[in-house]
Amino acid sequence: MSFSFWSRQVSTAFLALLLAGCQPESEAAGQDNSAGQAELGAPIPLGRNFDFYVLALSWSPSYCEAEGEDANRQQCAARRPYAFVVHGLWPQYERGFPEHCATAEPGVANERLRTLYDLMPSAGLIRHEWRRHGSCAGLSQDAYFAVLRAARNRIVIPPVLAHHDDDFAVDPDAAEQAFVEANDGLSPAGIAVTCDNRYLREVRICLTRELGFRSCPEIDRRACRRDSVVMPPVRGP
């Protein structure tokens, strides 16, 4: 069974009314994480030698469906209880981005991996993201993953997108607006919903090095242009 959600003709007033009837909840890797609604607490380690971050939140069921047998088994096993997960926290220049920077910490220890599975449910993904992107943040591994967690906790997932039991057809522009409405200070110029030919794949949110919201034209230009995409359901609890 599938159903659609929000045509392009939906009004901003209706969207605001819909969201007002729901108490936003933050969700990391399919689990409740109310810290996302709180003010940022401890000082954020300040990265260097880049301009801003992109926090990429992947709709895990889309990844699992799209990749099929090639999908990571740790993330896409039969029960597949993951919703929005962290794909990565990417240092960016105003144009382009650094990658694969020199680091004294090339590997990620198993002990650290276990502390991150609530955010990123794949050891291979964590190691890849550190080597390609985290190494370019100008931070120690401890500090980078602390910033990654703080960035995820910064974001409130709109309840209407957090979990559903069937294939869910959604207008990417409406999904973007739902995130804007749920996160005070986030503007449409600072977020991009991405897709492939069928599925909603990611929500990418631009953040300052202090984790404030900011605009990012280069990222925004890459947003999904389809009228409707599918969010497959979460499997398991």
Phi and psi at 92, nearest 5°, equal -130, 150
Q: Which residue, 202, 176, 205, 190, is CA-closest to 36?
A: 205
Distance, in Å, from the CA atom of 136 to the CA atom of 101, rounded to the nearest integer, reads 5
Q: What is the dihedral of CA 183, 154, 191, 144, to 10 degrees?
A: 170
Question: Has 67 been annotated as catalytic?
Answer: no
Which of the residues 65, 133, 176, 202 is marked catalytic? 133
DSSP H helices in 11-96: 12-20, 60-67, 73-76
Asked if residues 233 and 175 have their Cβ atoms less than 8 Å apart, the reply is: no
Distance, in Å, from the CA atom of 76 to the CA atom of 67, rounded to the nearest integer, reads 10
Which of the residues 27, 65, 87, 202 is marked catalytic? 87
* H or E element, residue 160: helix 159-162
Question: Has 87 been annotated as catalytic?
Answer: yes
Q: ∠ CA 77-80-83 to the nearest 5 degrees?
A: 145
Question: Has 164 been annotated as catalytic?
Answer: no
Q: Which residue, 169, 205, 168, is CA-closest to 186?
A: 205
Which of the residues 129, 176, 181, 202 is marked catalytic? 129
Q: Which residues are catalytic?
A: 87, 129, 133
